[in-house]
Amino acid sequence: MQLVGDIGGTNARFAWLDDKGIPHAPLTLAVRDYPDIGSAIRDFVNRTGGNSPREFAVAVACPAMADQIKFTNNPWVFSKTALTAEFGLERLVVVNDFTGLAMSVPYLGDDDLITLFDGPGRPGQPLAIIGAGTGLGVSGLLPHDGHWIPVQGEGGHVSLPAVDDLDYEIVKFLSAELGRVSAERILSGMGIENLYRALAAIDGVDVLPKTAAEVVEGAMVAKDPLCLKVLDRFCLFMGGVAGDLVLTLGAFDGVFIGGGIGPRIADFMKQSGLKERMIAKGRFRDLMNDVPVRLMTAQYPALLGCAKILTA
């Protein structure tokens, strides 16, 4: 049997592949409920009445190159060699979570995407993939000889780009706490919480801490001014990082935004300054303006991407 998985900072998602290589009956498990990946896999197998997997492709929210996999935002650690032996796997493929997500992009339908900002793009050029959830994931797809080659990196940990005075104040505030301020320190669930705290301090407002979900609800439902300011700045930073990614990869055929936060604030993103910040790249503004931006709304795209990797 062929198994696929997608493990982030909060959730572990698994699915079996059917005889056409398509994930079916996916199940989401909370990482905090299991001491390690092996126990989560065994529980999934028991719950679904399956046999021990023969092949397993898994997307992990951390670097995936070495034998030891240590997650960035959850406590799990595992060895590829040991996991292969534990389950008697004939084949194990471990990729970065956004590599798995990126590989799903060519197979998504119109119902799986929302166009935030349209544009003609540049067909035949690379695609950029970025998304905020528990952490910030970044990848790309490079076209080659009729196939797609995913970029496996850790672009979520690039330095956060500051553009205007408020950006610099935010980076200064967080640098005093964190030392180095990566893009993930803003463009993630914990990043929204950091941004809320930073903007409150900069404005001289005493507030109680809020979770990312509370900040989003405060902006989208209660129209709280500080929460709205947080989401506005979040979108500006997202635009800046996405634009840098486009230029770095030459991804002029499109940006795809994944992760769990985007779909919750889709309408806000359309009205935000995200596109303006993304295209504000000096002499490359006109070229950047042609790049479409789409939001991924598929429920389990990384599982589909892992399926394509496993069955290629």
What pLDDT is recorded for position 13?
A: 97
Write out pLDDT tens, residues 240-262: 999 999 999 999 999 999 999 99
What pLDDT is recorded for position 72?
A: 86
**Is residue 48 predicted with pLDDT exceeding 90?**
yes
Structural domain boundaries in the chain: 2-102+300-311, 119-291
Nearest to 184 by CA among 293, 62, 78: 62
- What SS3 state is found at 177? helix
21 is in an annotated binding site: no
What mean pLDDT is predicted for residues 275-290?
Answer: 98
**Is residue 175 predicted with pLDDT exceeding 80?**
yes
8 is in an annotated binding site: yes
CB 156 within 8 A of CB 190: no
Burial bucket for residue 189 (CB in 10 Å: 0-12, 13-18, 19+):
buried
Spell out the residues 6+ positions from residue 94 whose beta carbon is closer than 8 angstroms to its own.
57, 58, 60, 64, 69, 80
119 is in an annotated binding site: no
6 is in an annotated binding site: yes
What mean pLDDT is predicted for residues 193-215?
Answer: 97
Amino acid found at 287: L
What pLDDT is recorded for position 60?
A: 94
What pLDDT is recorded for position 76?
A: 97
**What is the rounded average pLDDT for all residues in the chain?**
96
Q: Round to whole Å and give the CA distance between 123 and 33.
A: 44
What pLDDT is recorded for position 312?
A: 77
pLDDT tier, 205 (very low <50, low <70, confident <90, very high otherwise)? very high
Superfamily of domain 2-102+300-311: ATPase, nucleotide binding domain (3.30.420.40)
**Is residue 274 predicted with pLDDT exceeding 90?**
yes
Write out pLDDT tens, residues 49-100: 888 999 999 999 899 999 999 998 899 999 999 999 999 999 999 999 899 9
pLDDT tier, 163 (very low <50, low <70, confident <90, very high otherwise)? very high
Write out pLDDT tens, residues 184-198: 999 999 999 999 999
Write out pLDDT tens, residues 107-153: 999 999 999 999 999 999 999 999 999 899 999 999 999 899 999 88
Element containing residue 86 per DSSP (H, E) = helix 80-87
Determine what percent of the chain is predicted with pLDDT higher than 90.
92
Burial bucket for residue 277 (CB in 10 Å: 0-12, 13-18, 19+):
buried
Q: Round to whole Å and give the CA distance between 284 and 292.
A: 15
50 is in an annotated binding site: no
What pLDDT is recorded for position 73?
A: 85
For the chain, the 3-state helix, strand and coil shares in percent, each to the nearest 5, are 45, 25, 30
What pLDDT is recorded for position 284?
A: 98
The β-bridge partners of 55 are 2, 91
114 is in an annotated binding site: no
Write out pLDDT tens, residues 29-42: 999 999 999 999 99
The C-alpha angle with vertex 189 and arms to 184 and 195, in degrees rounded to 5, equals: 75
CB 132 within 8 A of CB 191: yes
CATH class of 119-291: alpha beta
